[in-house]
Amino acid sequence: MAPIDPAATLSREAPRIAAADARLPRQAGVGLKPQHFTAFLGMASRPGFFEVHAENFLVDGGPLPHHLARLRETSALSLHGVGLSLGGLDPLDGGHLQSLRSLVARYQPAEFSEHLAWSSHQGRFLNDLLPVPYDNDALLRVSAHLDHLQNALGRSVLLENPATYVEFSQSTYSEEDFISEVVRRSGCGLLLDVNNAYVSGTNHGRDLHAYLSALPLAAVRQVHLAGFHRDVDSLGFPLLVDHHGSPVDEAVWELYGWVLRRLGPLPTLIEWDNDVPPLPRLLEEAGRAQSLMAGLARNRSVADGRA
Amino acid sequence: MAALEEWPAALLDPARPAPLGLETWNGSDPAHRFGIYRNNVLVSLVDSLADTFPVVAALVGDEFFRAMAGEFVRANLPTSPILYRYGADLPRFLTAFPPAGSLPYLADVARLEFACVRALHAAEGATLPAETLERLLRTPGLLPGLRVRFDPAFLLLSSRYAIVSIWSAHQERGTLGGVDPLIPEHAWIQRHGHAVRVQSVGHGEMEFSAALLRGETLHSAADAAHDAEPGFNFSAGLVALLERRVIVGFVGPSASESP
């Protein structure tokens, strides 16, 4: 593979480069927040990769593109879309797709991901990841939207499993079967959000290991970990709310360990978007994910040594 | 499919029933769970407005701001997922929002805050080449016929109220003490390094820069400035713009680049 010229990578007119399909490192990464730009730029040993919300960086100039470009010179990047509304009834917004295409061309992220959710209706944006009924109409719609997106970006994208609070009586697929079918039809990869799996699993009384085992795990190219908020439903059962505003719960760390034992180390992002803590606390969470992956590698080599 | 079409109205209006066709695994009330989505939509969009309009929020207090912003959100959902652009219509909403009537300057403070966000994220401008300036100084007779190109992050705002003083009082170490809100102020808004700078300028400077921004020549812009403020000094006005590095180029009379 030819070496990457960072200047060419970051120029707006940069041609597609060989790095476009490079994978994220199988290490822990963190969500990048503007208040941490300077600290990261001065840091000798940064997290394995950064992730940003694509829509936050769809600006024309100023500090956001400046700092992201500088960090991108030496760090791997994942772009996470939060506004395409892949599960919505509207066709994908062509102007927005074009903007995302420019963003991807500019920053050459290792991955672009979006959600199995909807957020826009008749051109109005609701700014939440709303649930999709799992029926044939939605299957065709989401698959077609993913095709549209992947053609526009010229790459395979990742689809993230959702955190949901209600289910639809019209659903004819389980969530895991629906995701499997979408992945099979579109050829997209899976962004396995372990917190979302735990939140939805709790909220809908699912067997978590059975749910995860039924997902297309071979397609997982990235993992998300985040914190949730505990509430209760009208009958007093636990109702977990995905809010990205607290540490990763112990139960989610445990489930993450289970995933690692099945799949080996994976690029793992700590998402902390609200009440963002001081950087050392954020890095501590990333360090824990990194240690779990390292412990896994040690156990494997010990097992190999014995064999 | 019909189910999803009911969602937006039900999300925005808590008086409406939850959409039909929702289920829960344990027979708990789906409407109660739907409330989480209602809350997410409203709170996240109100938070987004609070990020863009911190001075407006400080002027009216958090509780008032969140109630006001909630009304705005219900009537004006974003049309784009790029949320830094959300709230362009908030100033107009504020002028027609009776509970805020006792703060007549609120809408213009909101305009200033929205302009600051625009300036922060505006495209990069070029730097005026030093040799362009040197050439202009050698041939000052050409100046009156020239037009200027401004940095995209340079914005102007005039108000009947003391919006710059009010805004500044809410920045670090600022204070509202002694600010008379009823004194008209004119603002130059620009990006400086990675931050936005807001400066109060005289009526003449404002008319001068506004005419230039409209594409008028330096001569005609100076006339406009003199009309507004008879004591306006052309050289000082031009130097003020040059010193702030908001002029990125000069355009000659034949619309070609600078001489």
3-state secondary structure A200-245: HHHHCCCCHHHHHHHCCHHHEEEEEEECEEEEECCCCCEEEEECCC
Closest CA to B4 of A166, A243, A163: A166
Task: Calculate the alpha carbon distances from B189 to A300, B120, B209, B248 in Å.
Answer: 59, 10, 12, 15
Contacts with B, A 240-269, CB within 8 Å: 241
Q: What is the mean pLDDT of residues A226-252?
A: 97
Residue B4 near chain A (CB below 8 Å):
yes
Residue predicted with more confidence, A232 or A3: A232
Query: A6-38+47-300 maps to which CATH number?
Result: 3.20.20.150
Phi, psi (degrees; rounded to nearest 5) at B79 = -105, 5
pLDDT at B69 over 50: yes
Task: Report yes or no: A87 and A119 within 8 Å, Cβ to Cβ.
Answer: no
Q: What is the mean pLDDT of residues B106-120?
A: 98
Q: How confident is the model at residue A3 (pLDDT cuts 50, 70, 90)?
A: very low
Task: Calculate the alpha carbon distances from B11 to A53, A84, A92, B21, B73 in Å.
Answer: 24, 19, 22, 15, 11
Task: Report yes or no: A160 and A113 within 8 Å, Cβ to Cβ.
Answer: yes
**pLDDT given at position B254:** 57
- Give the HSE-up count for residue A84: Cα atoms under 13 Å, Cβ half-sphere: 31
Q: What is the mean pLDDT of residues A271-297?
A: 94
Within this chain, do residues B13 and B65 fall inside the same structural domain, yes or no?
yes
Within this chain, do residues B121 and B97 fall inside the same structural domain, yes or no?
no
Contacts with B, A 125-164, CB within 8 Å: 125-128, 130, 133, 137
Q: How confident is the model at residue A306 (pLDDT cuts 50, 70, 90)?
A: low
**pLDDT given at position A297:** 73
Q: How close does chain B come to A126, measured CA to CA in Å?
A: 6
**Calpha distance A279→A73 (Å, rounded):** 21
**pLDDT given at position A11:** 40
Q: How close does chain B come to A299, measured CA to CA in Å?
A: 39
Residue that terminates a domain, selected from B47, B76, B103: B103
Chain A residues closer than 8 Å to B24 by CB: 166-167, 204, 233
Q: How confident is the model at residue A22 (pLDDT cuts 50, 70, 90)?
A: low
Helix H segments across chain B? 2-12, 30-52, 54-60, 62-75, 90-95, 106-121, 130-138, 163-169, 203-213, 218-228, 234-243
Closest CA to A170 of B8, B33, B35, B1: B1
Q: What is the mean pLDDT of residues A11-15?
A: 40
Residue that terminates a domain, selected from B61, B82, B103: B103
Nearest CA in chain B to A130: B37
Chain A residues closer than 8 Å to B38 by CB: none
Q: How confident is the model at residue B250 (pLDDT cuts 50, 70, 90)?
A: very high
**pLDDT given at position A7:** 40
Nearest CA in chain B to A64: B121
Q: What is the mean pLDDT of residues A230-244?
A: 97
**pLDDT given at position A14:** 40
Chain A residues closer than 8 Å to B124 by CB: 60-62
Task: Report yes or no: A182 and A116 within 8 Å, Cβ to Cβ.
Answer: yes
Residue predicted with more confidence, B91 or B141: B91
Query: Would the CA dihedral through A251, A257, A259, A262 be positive or negative?
Result: negative
Q: What is the mean pLDDT of residues A156-170?
A: 98
Q: What is the mean pLDDT of residues A12-28?
A: 58
Residue B45 near chain A (CB below 8 Å):
yes
Q: How many domains does chain B have?
A: 2
Contact across the interface for B84 and A59, Cβ inside 8 Å: yes
Residue that terminates a domain, selected from B40, B68, B103: B103
Q: How confident is the model at residue A304 (pLDDT cuts 50, 70, 90)?
A: low
pLDDT at B166 over 70: yes
**pLDDT given at position B76:** 98
**pLDDT given at position B14:** 92
> Which structural domain range is residue B73 located in?
1-103
pLDDT at A47 over 70: yes
Rg (CA), chain B: 24
Residue B82 near chain A (CB below 8 Å):
yes
Q: What is the mean pLDDT of residues A19-23?
A: 50
Within this chain, do residues B129 and B233 fall inside the same structural domain, yes or no?
yes
Chain A residues closer than 8 Å to B78 by CB: 124-125, 127
pLDDT at B257 over 70: no
**pLDDT given at position B258:** 47
pLDDT at B24 over 60: yes
Strand duo B147-150 + B22-23: pairing: unpaired
Within this chain, do residues B92 and B118 fall inside the same structural domain, yes or no?
no
Question: Which residue of B23, B32, B44 is in closest CB contact with A233?
Answer: B32
Give B3-19 as a DSSP string: HHHHHHHHHH-TTSPPP
pLDDT at B50 over 70: yes
- Looking at every residue in chain B, the average pLDDT score rounds to 94
Task: Calculate the alpha carbon distances from A242 to A10, A128, A258, A271, B33 in Å.
Answer: 34, 11, 20, 11, 13
Within this chain, do residues B145 and B181 fall inside the same structural domain, yes or no?
yes
pLDDT at B1 over 80: no
**pLDDT given at position B174:** 78
Three-state DSSP class for B215? coil
Within this chain, do residues B97 and B6 fall inside the same structural domain, yes or no?
yes
Q: How confident is the model at residue B44 (pLDDT cuts 50, 70, 90)?
A: very high
Question: Helix A279-306 crosses helix A250-263 at what angle (to 10 degrees)?
Answer: 40
Per-residue pLDDT tens over the stretch B84-108: 999 999 999 999 999 999 999 999 9
pLDDT at A55 over 90: yes
Closest CA to B115 of B174, B198, B213, B215: B198
Closest CA to B78 of B120, B44, B110, B39: B44
**pLDDT given at position B173:** 76
**pLDDT given at position A13:** 41
Task: Report yes or no: A245 and A227 within 8 Å, Cβ to Cβ.
Answer: yes
Residue B17 near chain A (CB below 8 Å):
no
Six-digit token string for A300: 């494997």
Closest CA to B76 of B34, B100, B42, B104: B42
Chain A residues closer than 8 Å to B77 by CB: 124-126
Per-residue pLDDT tens over the stretch B206-240: 999 999 999 999 999 999 999 999 999 999 999 99
pLDDT at A18 over 60: no
Per-residue pLDDT tens over the stretch A66-117: 999 999 998 999 999 999 999 999 999 999 999 999 999 999 999 999 999 9
Task: Calculate the alpha carbon distances from B21 to A63, A120, A173 in Å.
Answer: 46, 20, 15
Task: Report yes or no: B132 and B155 within 8 Å, Cβ to Cβ.
Answer: no
pLDDT at A16 over 80: no
Residue predicted with more confidence, A1 or B152: B152
Within this chain, do residues B126 and B80 fall inside the same structural domain, yes or no?
no
Nearest CA in chain A to B80: A125
pTM of structure: 0.93
Other C-beta atoms within 10 Å of B93: how many?
18
**Least confident range of A128-142, A253-267, B171-185, B200-214:** B171-185
Task: Report yes or no: A35 and A278 within 8 Å, Cβ to Cβ.
Answer: no
- Looking at every residue in chain A, the average pLDDT score rounds to 92
